Structure 1
Amino acid sequence: MRASSKLISLTHPSLNLSHPTPEPFVWNTLIRAHVQSKPPTHSPISVFNRMRLHGVQPDNRTFPFLLQSFNSIRYLQSGKLFHAQVFLLGFDQDPFVQTSLIHMYSACGDLTLARQVFDESTQRDLPCWNSIIDAYAKVGLVDAARLVFDEMPERNVISWSCMIKAYVMCGGYKEALALFREMQMLDSVRPNEFTMSSILLACGRLGALEHGKWVHAYIDKYGMRVDVVLGTALMNMYAKCGSIERARGVFDSMGSRKDVMAWSSMISGLAMHGHAVESLELFAEMIKSGVRPNAVTFVGVLCACVHGGLVNEGKEYFRRMDDEFSIKPLIQHYGCIVDLYGRAGLISDAWKVVISMPMEPDVLVWGALLSGARMHRDIETSEIALNKLIQLDPTNSAAYVLLSNVYAKMGKWSEVRRVRDLMEERGIKKVPGCSLVEVGGVLHEFFVGDDSHPATREIYMMLDEIMKRLKMRGFVGNTSEALLQLDEEGKELALLFHSEKLALAFCFLKTTPGTPIQIVKNLRICCDCHDAMKMISQEFNREIVIRDCNRFHHFREGLCSCKDYW
């Protein structure tokens, strides 16, 4: 449906030319119906053109309805032409029309014109202010959105929600929570379901369980309707915050309201937590209940197979996608299969999948192959995958680090140095390890070797005490992944200051014995920290949950939910 500004003389099936000419209200209703119909039946532009041919003058409601149909860059030129008609007909200062123009230009990818409409507005109402904030948020200009937000003469719940969502979309999760707390100080504005969905997303990304539980309580206290959207947001938050039991509770409470996204989210959540069998059982229950899976569902199903090491099951589900449900595998699904084979040590099978894919492998596919090859010390495949990764993303520091780990494990320190020199030559910085914990409703962030925390001295003393006790029980540091060519004592010292160990020591300081500990880490947990966490969970009778960039690790009584397969 390509928009056109030229008047055309097609007879519209909804109109009978023998009838008297309808008033603008009727024409506007027809335009809106065609804009909102899914799939579109007829072009709303043709209705507008018939309206003009009948001599009916548009009013200030006509263009807002019509402009909704210009929602991608290919409609930009047509949108400009209708903007000209808005100007010629004298509606350019109508607040309702101005807001619609800002939305139109934003949807068509021209933020400059969206801002120009806003700047030229002489009667800016709240929707006009909110629309320009939303326009900035869509393209990631969160600072520009905040400047507009701070300039607003008044704000409503939509204003606050748009700004909170802008932070969440740009990864400013702490800023989103801070703004939400500021919003809570006002008596005149109360959050709605849209606000809470954004806040729940921020809590999930941060792993801020206490914040998320408070939001859930707030939703219940004010009787908000937990529909499928808000219910799925709650479920995702709990799953990402390490409380898969609460996530399942929300899922079960949704009853018959669950749609395919709710089922898919629960399947993925179980997979991330290492409950592969339960995840696959839920998929079978979903099929039995009559809900048809989609491509997202199968990403969760295949991830369950990956994390559970279920190679044969993964192959079967991959086959069923197309054969049984007519879902053509996307690149994400091929990436899961490559990861499945790679982790299982079937590097040749993983390689066959990569070279037989109907689309060009992307960074995630080559990364999965590299990860599997590194895990099983296949240097040749690791180097091929690395070169492909560098071609696609020359600044991908993770690829260099993975290859360095392979060389380090094999004691090839000259190769480790070569990779590090290459990174330095190309200005590529290794992403520092970072771990985040929530204690007493406050988020604390730790980096590798961090000494910026006010309690640094106490943290390091506690960590030293913990490690001494482990060594008395026979713990030996796993230095196989230490990247520096140091003696064993130097390697152990380097591993000691990893961010998750600092976060753990802080939690030991600030929580009572036996309190569960939850840590969110931005990188894959190393073997040494993984071994240490297992022994700490047993020695100190603590449940420790760590979410790294791949999955959840639940450490209990000396064991990990990943069964040392990650």
Structure 2
Amino acid sequence: MRIRSILPHNLTKATEHKLMFLIHDSKELQYIHAFLLKTSLHSNNFIIAKLLRNFPFNSSGNLRYARTVFDELPNPDTFLWNTMIRACLNLQNYDECLSLFRRLRRQDNLFIDSFSLSVVVQACGRSNFVQNGQTIHTQVLKLGFDRDLFVQTGLTEMYVKFGWVEFARKVFGEMKHPDLVSYNVLLAEYVRIGEIDFARQLFDKMPQRDLVSWNIMIHGYTSLGCCSNRSLSNEALRLFDEMQLAKLLPDKITIVSVLSACGDLGALRVGKTVHKYIKMNQIEIDIKLGTSLVNMYAKCGDIANASYVFNEMKSKDVFSWSAMIMGLANHGYGGAALDHFHAMIYEGIKPNGVTFIGVLSACSHIGLVNSGWKYFNSMRDAYGLEPEVEHYGCMVDILCRAGHLNAARNFIRNMPFKPDAIIWRTLLNACKIYKNLELAEEATSQILSLEAHNDGNYVLLSNIYLQGNKWEESVNIRRKMNEISIQKVVGNSSIEVDNLV
């Protein structure tokens, strides 16, 4: 052990200084602690205190031993109390964080400072300890820290995490001179809970913005745009343009968010421009950035470039493989998708749920019913993954494409949870192809109970009746649409213009 070689019989200032930088884990701390106790050095408590201040609290084991050492100190100062409280917060031991704070409150000879309060407030927010959070806010008021910027920022973050947006805005509004950190904290919390409009209002009012501010907003628009609203992804690209006009250079966080927006929108030209920027500035393509590029190219239909980036990646994880498998499966390369899956397993990488969506989609596109069943069953049997509704939907699609409509209906009826409208619509589309009116009516009845005002469901059933020469039934469906004021939504398409879609 390196420490053994520098421990003399008497500790000098130079030796103390060396120890501060040599301690890396609890074993080294234990050795020093034992040495000090054994030699009964007069300055042992002082040295232990200094060691704790520099101790790497990076695991629960380290924390437990450091806590043991801490409890033996006769008079730890506020800084040491804060060090231990902060360590508990960083290791997500929120109960212990609060317990230490309460003990600190009972120390007659010590004063709680703004750091103590801000840390314990963060613990309450992250653990959703609502009652404790309110109690500590009361203590903040009693102790006169309600105008401390550090504490106010923590309270703001805490209330947003509770979902109490109005309380958060009130605390933030009471700040005399909120700094950039305070703005970014509230901005990030608004984005985290999906309050993108509140976030944008705050962003527009900020007296100054740094790269963190821009990244928070761009990521917010991208994360919400991918699942609900394409216009939000477009807004992410607009903000990216504005950020460049503000003379701020994007970092990897920016680039990953922008590539995600490009993939959601099919904005291949913008995505290629970003990729060119990466090359020109010699930005290292790590796993996360490489996966983002693969995902963007795959979603935009450029499988050649997706494959090129994927093959050039030095390291790949399950997300990289899954992005490539999904891209191949969704663009008609089912065989290649399955080949990649087997290569991934050969590399010793365990698949996840997304991987199997790609694998099952590949089976669906190339008509591999038996293989689809094999992969579906292997999720639970070989990899310990519980199939979710998306995987059941893929199996329904496999059966329907192969014309096994009755098998698909029975599979749906025996699902462990209620099938959604997408699954029933998959069956309904197959009924149109294979002209099965009986099943079409059953599927439509189920869909309308879930989506009574979706015009596409009525139109599809009406067309199925027309296909089967049931003119009266088709007219009745159209009449019903008029009676409940359902109109067919006009379709639209998108093109890229000036780096927007």
The 3 A distance-change label for structure 1 pair 387 and 114 is: farther
The 3 A distance-change label for structure 1 pair 364 and 246 is: same
Match of 2:372 in 1: 314
Match of 1:205 in 2: 264
| Backbone CA RMSD of aligned residues | 2.5
The 3 A distance-change label for structure 1 pair 103 and 344 is: farther
Match of 1:127 in 2: 181
Paired residues of 2:334 and 2:365 also in contact (CA < 8 A)? yes
Out of 412, 419, 422, which is 1:361 matched to? 419
Question: What is the 5 A alignment of 1:433-512?
Answer: 433-438=491-496, 441=498, 443=500
Paired residues of 2:325 and 2:355 also in contact (CA < 8 A)? yes
The 3 A distance-change label for structure 1 pair 418 and 72 is: farther
In structure 1, C-alpha distance between the alignment counterparts of 2:395 and 2:237, rounded to whole Å: 37
Match of 2:97 in 1: 44
The 3 A distance-change label for structure 1 pair 180 and 375 is: same
Q: Which has more radius of gyration?
A: 2
Match of 1:183 in 2: 243
Q: Tell me the secondary structure at the aligned position of residue 201 of structure 1.
A: helix
Amino acid aligned to 2:171: V
In structure 1, C-alpha distance between the alignment counterparts of 2:280 and 2:150, rounded to whole Å: 35
Deviation of residue 408 (structure 1)?
Answer: 3.5
Question: What is the 5 A alignment of 1:108-123?
Answer: 108-123=162-177
In structure 2, C-alpha distance between the alignment counterparts of 1:99 and 1:225, rounded to whole Å: 35
The 3 A distance-change label for structure 1 pair 68 and 267 is: farther
Match of 1:106 in 2: 160
In structure 1, C-alpha distance between the alignment counterparts of 2:148 and 2:279, rounded to whole Å: 40
Paired residues of 1:71 and 1:104 also in contact (CA < 8 A)? yes
TM-score, structure 1 as length reference: 0.70
TM-score, structure 2 as length reference: 0.79
Match of 2:208 in 1: 154
In structure 1, C-alpha distance between the alignment counterparts of 2:246 and 2:141, rounded to whole Å: 39
The 3 A distance-change label for structure 1 pair 414 and 24 is: farther
Deviation of residue 232 (structure 1)?
Answer: 1.6
5+ residue gaps, structure 2? 1-63
Paired residues of 2:125 and 2:133 also in contact (CA < 8 A)? no
Match of 1:230 in 2: 289
The 3 A distance-change label for structure 1 pair 125 and 53 is: same
In structure 2, C-alpha distance between the alignment counterparts of 1:395 and 1:32, rounded to whole Å: 53
Paired residues of 2:211 and 2:250 also in contact (CA < 8 A)? yes
Paired residues of 2:238 and 2:500 also in contact (CA < 8 A)? no
Out of 301, 304, 309, which is 1:242 matched to? 301
Paired residues of 2:237 and 2:258 also in contact (CA < 8 A)? yes
Deviates more, 1:173-182 or 1:131-140: 131-140
Q: What does the per-residue CA deviation read over 1:100-150, in whole Å, with 9 as the maximum and x for residues that have no partner?
A: 322222222222222222222212111222233333334444333322222
1:216 aligns with 2:272: no
In structure 2, C-alpha distance between the alignment counterparts of 1:144 and 1:41, rounded to whole Å: 29
Deviates more, 1:209-218 or 1:372-381: 372-381
Q: What does the per-residue CA deviation read over 1:257-307, in whole Å, with 9 as the maximum and x for residues that have no partner?
A: x22111111111111111111111111111111111122221221121122
Q: Tell me the secondary structure at the aligned position of residue 246 of structure 1.
A: helix
Paired residues of 2:126 and 2:161 also in contact (CA < 8 A)? yes
Deviation of residue 363 (structure 1)?
Answer: 2.7
Amino acid aligned to 1:47: L
Out of 331, 334, 343, which is 1:285 matched to? 343
Paired residues of 2:237 and 2:500 also in contact (CA < 8 A)? no
The number of residues matched between the two structures is 429
Out of 82, 87, 97, which is 1:28 matched to? 82
Out of 429, 435, 442, which is 1:384 matched to? 442
Paired residues of 1:407 and 1:413 also in contact (CA < 8 A)? yes
| Higher normalized contact order (CA 8 Å, seq sep 6+, divided by chain length) | 1
5+ residue gaps, structure 1? 1-11, 445-566
| Percent identity of paired positions between Structure 1 and Structure 2 | 42
Q: Tell me the secondary structure at the aligned position of residue 279 of structure 1.
A: helix
Amino acid aligned to 1:192: D
Paired residues of 2:97 and 2:123 also in contact (CA < 8 A)? yes
Q: What does the per-residue CA deviation read over 1:353-377, in whole Å, with 9 as the maximum and x for residues that have no partner?
A: 1121222222333233333333322
Deviates more, 1:17-26 or 1:148-157: 17-26
Deviation of residue 71 (structure 1)?
Answer: 5.2
Deviates more, 1:247-256 or 1:403-412: 403-412
Paired residues of 1:167 and 1:175 also in contact (CA < 8 A)? yes
Paired residues of 1:260 and 1:292 also in contact (CA < 8 A)? yes
Match of 1:295 in 2: 353
In structure 2, C-alpha distance between the alignment counterparts of 1:346 and 1:128, rounded to whole Å: 59
Out of 112, 116, 121, which is 1:58 matched to? 112
The 3 A distance-change label for structure 1 pair 117 and 425 is: farther
Q: Which has the higher strand share?
A: 1
Paired residues of 1:236 and 1:247 also in contact (CA < 8 A)? yes
Match of 1:459 in 2: none
In structure 1, C-alpha distance between the alignment counterparts of 2:215 and 2:166, rounded to whole Å: 23
Match of 1:164 in 2: 218
Out of 62, 76, 79, which is 2:133 matched to? 79
Deviation of residue 237 (structure 1)?
Answer: 0.8
Deviation of residue 41 (structure 1)?
Answer: 8.9
Deviation of residue 442 (structure 1)?
Answer: 5.1
